[in-house]
Structure 1
């Protein structure tokens, strides 16, 4: 492809991070996100200086908002990274428009998820005890502890997801380096571009590395999501001690990741005027995938009821309490938001509508959060000891911690949009060349 043609294709994307001004809307959103990040810092400091007693957890609710939000963020990370890796390996055309920010969403969600198990320790400055380093006193981690599982799962997830995101960025970082006008900007992008010159040898190494990391993502995601589910399944809590839990978490996590990708795609398409790169066919296909994941989620809910009817009496009582008891509203809200609302996507006009896409994406995210709340809190309410049955409600520090992670996620996403290309430029050039050649 000629240089002028390539520049015409990539200029609208490259001009976004290289622009000296970015509009007041971005600044207002960043300020709101920054305020929530400050709230996050305040709640984390209160946990450090006061302790986890500021949370509303108590017997039998040894887990509350911390595990709910951890499992929720991990679902977003796993679903979006699994989707991005699959598109890379399949070489599907949809990867051109959504892969870059889908990988970013996965990375930022992992960062938010990692906060919860660390501060759940009570003494977060001793988090390195979960790592089997050669201690002088030969005191090794308790490998039966789910906190140790979380350490290995999150650290591995963060490394692989970062590699997938960064390796895909390298050619575009070189493009920004070559197009930047200020010397300091060229030097910054040049450092992270790793001396990329676009030679045949560079492209061969890059494609191998990109596909290798994408291959690593697939088993990692299944293991990671299953690890979160096994934190429930290995306990003796009624309605948790079930082999269906890993499948439920994997499927609902995929639906959650796809919904957030749809939400971000619609917002970027509208906010940055990227209709040429995230076109109607892309969002239409993405909407169909979200709808399919919602239908599979509906099947799992139905399967859960059938499995429970065939289970022992204690499991039936615990499950029916979750469906009809104090937290029944959460269970039914999860069904409404994550299963019924996505049925709007049966209509082509809704799949291509920005408002409908944002609404459905947000709705599924909220629905899966209710699902996690229903499983964790509703499952713990009726344990084996009726004498300790009581209700749970989050405290202000717990709520502030969750809102703070939402602000952190939004701030990271906004900074990513501002300083890095949100659409893969080298994939776009490749697709345009193939279309003209055919």
Structure 2
């Protein structure tokens, strides 16, 4: 490559490369401190849980599931939607991948880490979580493979490994760029750290060939895993005899209504990174407009799923299922159902407007509303799904305890902390994809 072209490429992505090596302002450190406090809160909550057991939660008969399963399904939905966006963009080689793939993959990985805590913590004895591992036990006592706990183990393990691998493989060329920049600046310790994770990358034709093959292979492996992981979570409900749960449409409902949550969060991240880090040249108006429309389209699909659920539940199902659905939409917890419908399927339709989608003041709240709406929907499924009873006795209401709220806030703090560290340590936009896209444009 001619020297002039090389210098032009380095200059094109220099603003992105400078971000991890620059000094961050007070706002960043305040956010980092707040998220770190959330992680401390998570540690205190987990210690309390280990000391006193799951009795500190507000769950009891008949509400044996509460925030533990609600938050687990919610985090998985965010991770799946963010990963699905990144995977499709990579496989189709769409230009939007240059702007959003890096932090979409990071958000998916952080969400998977937050979700992975819940299958362990909701066990009666979390310190024995390794019993679900299919290892050759001395007494030949193998795990019960029909148990949903085993499904969670395989699903979460595969999700963490493949999502982390997908994110890391895409990061390797940029880690090498950061290594070389740090070396030129005389920051040898930083250069060595980046060099370790760059795996000796030198940018040869052989390196690029193997990198692209591995990147697309992992993306192809991740695509069916995403659909399977979210579907298995829904099948955990379908294996029960609760009328509002064991419906064939529930896996489709969980998958489709989870899409706006992840896409909305990616949209909010794109708007905030674009504004705070000055990445307007890398996340341009066209990228924001397309991402807004994708979120609105996913919300429109969710609206269709809600309409289909009401049609089947209130008209076409048997009398028991109709009564269960009616209780869910008009009963004690009906507000959660309608809040999920409003925030997930209706409010994001405003993003069809280019003006609203390009404004940080509107894109961020609407994206976060889509994610919050999915949480309300999961609350409606888990809690309101078993409100109906066949016994002539009073059924106690489910009231989340302080420990459950602390656990939710703690995992939220862990999610934000991981994203803040990501923005501090690695490029938030793919530099090599940007250079490749500009080279293709010049060649055309």
TM-score tier, shorter chain, comes to over 0.9
Are 1:282 and 2:287 matched, yes or no?
Answer: yes
Deviation at 1:238, TM superposition (A): 1.1
Deviation at 1:385, TM superposition (A): 3.9
Deviation at 1:396, TM superposition (A): 0.1
Question: Within 2, Cα distance between the matches of 1:312 and 1:176?
Answer: 62
1:220-369 to structure 2, matched below 5 A, reads: 220-308=225-313, 309-369=315-375
TM-score (norm 2): 0.97
In 2, are the aligned partners of 1:177 and 1:190 still within 8 Å (CA)?
Answer: yes
In 1, are the aligned partners of 2:98 and 2:430 still within 8 Å (CA)?
Answer: yes
In 2, are the aligned partners of 1:37 and 1:405 still within 8 Å (CA)?
Answer: yes
In 2, are the aligned partners of 1:100 and 1:422 still within 8 Å (CA)?
Answer: yes
Question: Within 2, Cα distance between the matches of 1:390 and 1:137?
Answer: 42
State the secondary structure of the residue aligned to 1:387. Answer: coil
Aligned pair count?
437
Moved more, 383-392 or 330-339: 383-392
Match of 1:72 among 60, 71, 74: 74
Match of 1:99 among 88, 98, 101: 101
Match of 1:382 among 376, 382, 388: 388
* Counterpart in the other structure of 1:6: 9
Any unmatched runs of 5+ in structure 2?
Answer: none
Question: Within 2, Cα distance between the matches of 1:388 and 1:85?
Answer: 49
In 2, are the aligned partners of 1:89 and 1:211 still within 8 Å (CA)?
Answer: yes
State the secondary structure of the residue aligned to 1:389. Answer: coil
Question: Within 1, Cα distance between the matches of 2:281 and 2:300?
Answer: 30
Moved more, 377-386 or 64-73: 377-386
In 1, are the aligned partners of 2:151 and 2:232 still within 8 Å (CA)?
Answer: yes
Question: Within 1, Cα distance between the matches of 2:105 and 2:203?
Answer: 22
Question: Within 1, Cα distance between the matches of 2:85 and 2:390?
Answer: 39
Deviation at 1:384, TM superposition (A): 4.4
Moved more, 310-319 or 159-168: 310-319
Match of 1:122 among 124, 133, 142: 124
* Counterpart in the other structure of 2:165: 163
Question: Within 1, Cα distance between the matches of 2:259 and 2:400?
Answer: 27
Match of 1:191 among 166, 177, 196: 196
* Counterpart in the other structure of 2:405: 399
1:212-266 Cα distance to aligned partner (Å, 9 max, x none)? 0000011000100000000111111011010001111111122211111101111
State the secondary structure of the residue aligned to 2:283. Answer: coil
* Counterpart in the other structure of 1:60: 62
CA RMSD of superposed structures (Å): 1.0
Deviation at 1:388, TM superposition (A): 6.2
Moved more, 303-312 or 283-292: 303-312
TM-score (norm 1): 0.98
Deviation at 1:390, TM superposition (A): 2.5
In 1, are the aligned partners of 2:264 and 2:295 still within 8 Å (CA)?
Answer: yes
Match of 2:20 among 17, 20, 23: 17
In 2, are the aligned partners of 1:238 and 1:315 still within 8 Å (CA)?
Answer: yes
Question: Within 1, Cα distance between the matches of 2:298 and 2:420?
Answer: 27
1:117-168 Cα distance to aligned partner (Å, 9 max, x none)? 1011121111111011111111111112111111110000000000000000
Question: Within 2, Cα distance between the matches of 1:147 and 1:60?
Answer: 20
Question: Within 2, Cα distance between the matches of 1:252 and 1:321?
Answer: 21
Question: Within 2, Cα distance between the matches of 1:126 and 1:173?
Answer: 38
Question: Within 2, Cα distance between the matches of 1:174 and 1:206?
Answer: 13
Any unmatched runs of 5+ in structure 1?
Answer: none
